[in-house]
Amino acid sequence: MKDEPITLPLGEPPTKGQMIARFGRDLVTDFDLDDPGFNDKFDETLDFLVRKCPVVHSQVGRGYYLINTQDDVRRSAQDWQTFSSAKGYMPNRPEGMPYLMPEESDPPIHTEWRKVLNPHLSPKVSLSYEQPIRDDVNELIDRFINSGECEFIGEFGALLPGWAFFKNVLGLPIVDLAMLIEGVEEGTFSPDLGTRARHFGNVFAYLEKHLRWRSEQSERDDLIGTILKGVTYDNGEPAPWEHMVSILVDLTFGGIATTTFVMASAIHHLATHPDQRQLLIDNPAMIDNAIEEYARFFPPLVALGRTCTRNVEIAGTEIRAGEFVMLTYAAASRDPRHMEDPGKIDLTRTGIPHSTFGVGWHRCIGSNLARIELSTTIEEWLKRIPEFSVKPGTEPVYVTGYLRSMRKLELVW
Ligand code: HEM
């Protein structure tokens, strides 16, 4: 992470040779989300993409494009007829992996599901979980506060979103959370596609078992009850069982694989910027705004995919029907055409036009819940541990693909 704002001018990309010298590869024709170089030079690469390369191509596997400017990302996310989600959101999707609803569907199927699911995660309903989540934050802090140190990811950041979603929203036991977190992480980042598929399979099997059990109990009108009640598709057929399971899997992926990164990055920023910490301690009312800036700058979902249904041209690049295209939400949130100094973290920035929660039809259903997890964490942490820093001799460990995640953050106080 940088403190210095990036001032790279807008314009044409440099030559292939210059890109290879700077990034180790030609970003325009040979991009790779899984390249360790992208993980290491994350901020620099995103800034470069949004300023210099509106569209780039990857040759990995079956190949994919990345769309990088805010205007193009917004336009494409709205146009589901051209950029369909029905063939999946991840590049080089493992063969045989079931599609996830509502994420990997288009209207009208998508609309039917969102209509019944949205009320369970509305701003008002999410707010009803605020106190239990605040209690969870404090219970986790209680476990390590007296030891004067913690490994933030393992002891807090990876746990809280799971507790918030499983315990409070789904009413599911949290004893199996570690297996689910591992399943989602390995299913996303394992270098071997077969291993990814196996881990995703474990998550599916676990959640299907729970859904089956619930279907044998008396009806309830909670989120799982709504999934089990199902929807009717426009051909008059009820949604099949596999779609119901995949709804629960999609919500679980969203519920546990994302918020940790924003949370950990915010805590890391506050650990390394005592003045910003003091700013929030003195002005707790600023925390909600700070969360938007942290979400903008630390996007867990780097890019999500669509399949082109017709030939299109974006920023001068022709993309043919059938090609896989990714919307780089992370780059779009740093577009200098829409904000000043996008490379700088400014907690006082207002009207933050970020796309971290997605834009258009598939905009995140869990953003209200995520915001509560983030605000309660920062509020309670700063009250109870106002002075803290990164453990000397350590630094955060990151891993990046289409998702970005922090694996380790050691703190002392
Ligand atoms: C900071 C935390 C989070 C971030 C950054 C985030 C980000 C996103 C993004 C970018 C999308 C759009 C996907 C696309 O365009 O294809 C999305 C969709 C989704 N998110 Fe989140 N998410 C977060 C938290 C959550 C939580 C807590 C849940 C569940 C409780 C959740 C569940 C979902 C689901 C189910 C979708 C699919 C929506 C659809 O396809 O209509 N997310 N999220």
Domains of the chain: 16-412 (1.10.630.10)
Ramachandran assignment for 185, one of left (phi > 0), alpha (psi -120 to 50 degrees), beta (any other): alpha
- pLDDT tens across 101-130, in order? 999 999 999 999 999 999 999 999 999 999
- Return the sign of the alpha-carbon dihedral for residues 84, 90, 92, 97: negative
Residue 261, ligand 1, Cβ within 6 A = no
Beta-bridge partners for 410: 151
pLDDT computed for residue 340 by the predictor? 93
Residue 362, ligand 1, Cβ within 6 A = yes
Report the nearest atom of ligand 1 relative to the CA of 299: 5
Mean pLDDT, range 185-208, rounded to an integer: 84
Residue 370, ligand 1, Cβ within 6 A = yes
Report the nearest atom of ligand 1 relative to the CA of 363: 12
pLDDT computed for residue 6 by the predictor? 45
Quote the pTM value: 0.95
- pLDDT tens across 282-319, in order? 999 999 999 999 999 999 999 999 999 999 999 999 99
Given a cut of 50, whether residue 384 has pLDDT beyond it is yes
pLDDT computed for residue 9 by the predictor? 65
83-97, 136-150, 362-376: segment of lowest average pLDDT: 83-97
Beta strands, E only, 154-215? none
Residue 374, ligand 1, Cβ within 6 A = no
The mean pLDDT value of the chain amounts to: 93
pLDDT computed for residue 410 by the predictor? 98
Given a cut of 70, whether residue 200 has pLDDT beyond it is yes
Residue 304, ligand 1, Cβ within 6 A = yes
Report the nearest atom of ligand 1 relative to the CA of 102: 40
State both tokens at 404.
């970005």
62-71, 141-150, 246-255: segment of lowest average pLDDT: 246-255
Q: For residue 84, what are the CA distances in angstroms to 81, 133, 301, 397? A: 6, 36, 18, 34
- What confidence tier does 81 reach under pLDDT thresholds 50, 70, 90? very high
Burial of 368 (0-12, 13-18, 19+ CB in 10 A): middle
- pLDDT tens across 344-372, in order? 999 999 899 899 999 999 999 999 999 99
- What confidence tier does 7 reach under pLDDT thresholds 50, 70, 90? low
* Distance, CA of 293 to CA of 298 (rounded, Å): 8
How many A from CA of 255 to the centre of ligand 1?
Answer: 8
pLDDT computed for residue 3 by the predictor? 40
Residue 103, ligand 1, Cβ within 6 A = yes
Q: For residue 116, what are the CA distances in angstroms to 122, 126, 155, 288? A: 11, 15, 34, 28
Burial of 351 (0-12, 13-18, 19+ CB in 10 A): exposed
Given a cut of 50, whether residue 2 has pLDDT beyond it is no
Residue 23, ligand 1, Cβ within 6 A = no
How many A from CA of 362 to the centre of ligand 1?
Answer: 8
* Distance, CA of 395 to CA of 385 (rounded, Å): 20
Residue 326, ligand 1, Cβ within 6 A = no
Which alpha helices (DSSP H) does 258-364 contain, by range?
A: 259-272, 274-282, 287-297, 329-332
- What confidence tier does 173 reach under pLDDT thresholds 50, 70, 90? confident
Q: How much of the chain exceeds pLDDT 90, in percent?
A: 81
How many A from CA of 357 to the centre of ligand 1?
Answer: 6
- What confidence tier does 4 reach under pLDDT thresholds 50, 70, 90? very low
* Distance, CA of 399 to CA of 38 (rounded, Å): 9
Residue 102, ligand 1, Cβ within 6 A = yes
* Distance, CA of 45 to CA of 23 (rounded, Å): 8
Indicate which residue's Cα is closest to atom 20 of ligand 1. 364
Residue of 114, 109, 163, 126 whose CA lies nearest to 141: 163
- What confidence tier does 176 reach under pLDDT thresholds 50, 70, 90? confident
3 state SS of 177:
helix
How many A from CA of 364 to the centre of ligand 1?
Answer: 4
